[in-house]
C-alpha cells in the first residue's frame, strides 16, 4: 500500500480551512497531519467544529511534526509570509488567498494596499484553474488558487473568448452567499443586516476584477478587453451564480436562433469535454445544483434581440470556489487522479 502524503492546513478555523479538512478526510491518498489556527490553538478540532471530531486532531499555533504538502487558508499577505519557510524547504503548496494570483507586484499593492512579501515568486506561481492551466500546475511549486468569483466568470467565458465568438466588451454580474465574506465578525454579514435583502458592492472596483481581467486576457491575447464586474450579496449561506454578457461577433454562429444556440452549446461541450468538474447543461442552473460539490455548472445561450452571448454559471464558493479546487490542484501537482476525494454529490435541499 502506497504511503499517504502528510498534509498541513494553515488556518483551519476559517470557512475555507474547515472545508479543506472536511474534504481531505475522505481523500484516499492523503493523511491530514496538522492544522493551525492561532485564535483556537490548543483546542481539539472537534471542540471548535463538532462535524470534524472524527479527525482526532488538535489545533496548534504552528505546524507540528513533518508534513509533505501545505495548504494555506490565511488572509492575503499573512498567507505568503507563512508559506515562505515551507517553500524554502522545498515543499509544494496551494495558497487559497490572493497572494499569488496577480503576476504584477505593483498591481497587487494597488488592489490590496500592502507590499507583497515575496514578489519574486509571482512569476513562478501557477494560476490554479485546472481546466485551463493544467500543464503549468503540474510543475509548479506554489499554486495560486483562484478566487470564487473569478472561477465562475472565467469558466463561463473561456470557450467563447478562446474561439473568438464574442467582442472584448464583457459584463460579469455575480451573486454570492454570505460565507464568501469569511468567518470573521463584521456588521455587513450579520443576519439582521443581510436577511431579506440583496445588495451590490464593490462598484468602485472589486479586488477580483484584476484577476478576472488578467486571466481572460490570456484567452484573448491582443484584444483590448474591457470587463465590468459587479458582485452582489445574497441572503444564503453558500453558492455563486454569475451571469456573463458579451456581444457576439457576427457570422461566427449559424443563422437563426436554434442553429446559433445549438452551435454555441456544441462549442462549450467540446471545450470542456475532458474536464470532470465542469458540466454544460441545457437549462439555466441554480446555486443549489452545486451545493457541497466541486462542480461548476454552465449554461450558454444567445439573446436574439440584442445579439449577445449570455452565460450563466453556478458553483459552491467554498468547494469549487475554494477548498475543492485547492484539492483538485494538489491532485494534479502530485500525480493523483484529478477527481480523488472530490466525487461527492451535491446537497439537496
Q: List residues with catalytic annotation.
A: 148
Q: How many CB atoms lie within 10 A of CB 243?
A: 18
Cα gap 313→310, rounded to integer Å: 10
Cα gap 246→43, rounded to integer Å: 50
Cα gap 192→173, rounded to integer Å: 25
H or E element at residue 269: helix 257-271
What DSSP assignment string belongs to 133-151?
Answer: HHHHHHH-SEEEPPPHHHH
Local structure of 198: helix, strand or coil: coil
What DSSP assignment string belongs to 291-336?
Answer: TTSS-EEEEEEEETTTTEEEEEEEE-TTIIIIIHHHHHHHHHHHT-
CA distances to 6, 100, 210, 214, 317 from 104, in Å: 32, 9, 10, 10, 25
| Short-list 321, 346, 347, CA closest to 16 | 321
Cα gap 70→33, rounded to integer Å: 10
Sign (positive or negative) of CA dihedral 73, 122, 342, 324:
positive
Contact 69, 334 (CB under 8 A): yes
Amino acid at each position: 500500500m502506497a504511503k499517504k502524503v502528510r498534509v498541513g492546513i494553515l488556518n483551519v478555523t476559517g470557512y475555507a480551512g474547515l472545508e479543506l479538512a472536511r474534504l481531505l478526510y475522505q481523500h484516499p491518498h492523503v493523511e491530514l497531519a496538522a492544522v493551525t489556527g492561532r485564535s483556537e490553538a490548543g483546542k481539539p478540532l472537534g471542540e471548535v467544529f463538532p462535524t470534524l471530531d472524527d479527525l482526532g486532531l488538535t489545533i496548534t499555533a504552528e505546524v507540528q511534526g513533518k508534513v509533505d504538502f501545505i495548504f494555506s487558508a490565511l488572509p492575503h499577505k499573512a498567507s505568503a509570509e507563512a508559506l515562505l519557510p515551507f517553500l524554502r524547504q522545498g515543499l509544494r503548496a496551494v495558497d487559497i488567498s490572493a497572494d499569488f494570483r496577480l503576476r504584477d507586484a505593483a498591481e497587487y499593492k494597488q488592489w490590496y494596499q500592502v507590499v507583497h512579501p515575496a514578489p519574486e515568486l509571482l512569476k513562478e506561481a501557477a494560476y490554479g484553474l485546472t481546466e485551463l492551466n493544467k500543464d503549468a500546475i503540474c510543475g509548479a511549486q506554489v499554486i495560486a488558487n483562484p478566487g470564487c468569483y473569478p472561477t465562475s466568470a472565467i469558466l463561463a467565458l473561456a470557450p467563447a473568448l478562446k474561439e473568438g465568438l464574442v467582442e472584448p466588451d464583457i459584463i460579469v454580474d455575480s451573486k454570492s452567499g454570505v460565507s464568501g465574506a469569511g468567518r470573521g465578525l463584521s456588521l455587513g454579514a450579520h443576519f439582521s443586516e443581510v436577511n431579506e435583502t440583496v445588495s451590490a458592492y464593490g462598484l468602485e472596483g472589486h479586488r477580483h476584477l484584476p484577476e478576472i481581467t488578467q486571466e481572460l486576457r490570456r484567452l484573448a491575447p491582443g484584444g483590448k478587453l474591457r470587463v465590468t464586474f459587479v458582485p452582489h450579496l445574497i441572503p444564503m449561506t453558500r453558492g455563486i451564480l454569475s451571469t456573463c454578457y458579451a456581444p457576439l461577433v457576427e457570422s461566427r454562429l449559424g443563422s437563426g436562433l436554434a442553429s446559433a444556440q445549438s452551435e454555441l452549446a456544441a462549442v462549450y461541450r467540446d471545450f470542456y469535454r475532458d474536464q470532470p468538474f465542469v458540466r454544460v447543461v441545457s437549462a439555466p442552473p441554480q446555486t443549489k445544483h452545486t451545493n457541497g460539490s466541486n462542480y461548476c455548472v454552465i449554461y450558454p445561450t444567445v439573446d436574439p434581440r440584442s445579439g449577445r452571448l449570455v452565460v450563466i454559471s453556478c458553483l459552491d464558493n467554498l468547494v469549487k470556489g475554494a477548498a475543492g479546487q485547492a484539492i483538485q490542484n494538489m491532485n494534479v501537482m502530485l500525480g493523483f487522479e484529478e477527481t480523488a476525494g472530490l466525487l461527492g454529490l451535491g446537497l439537496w435541499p
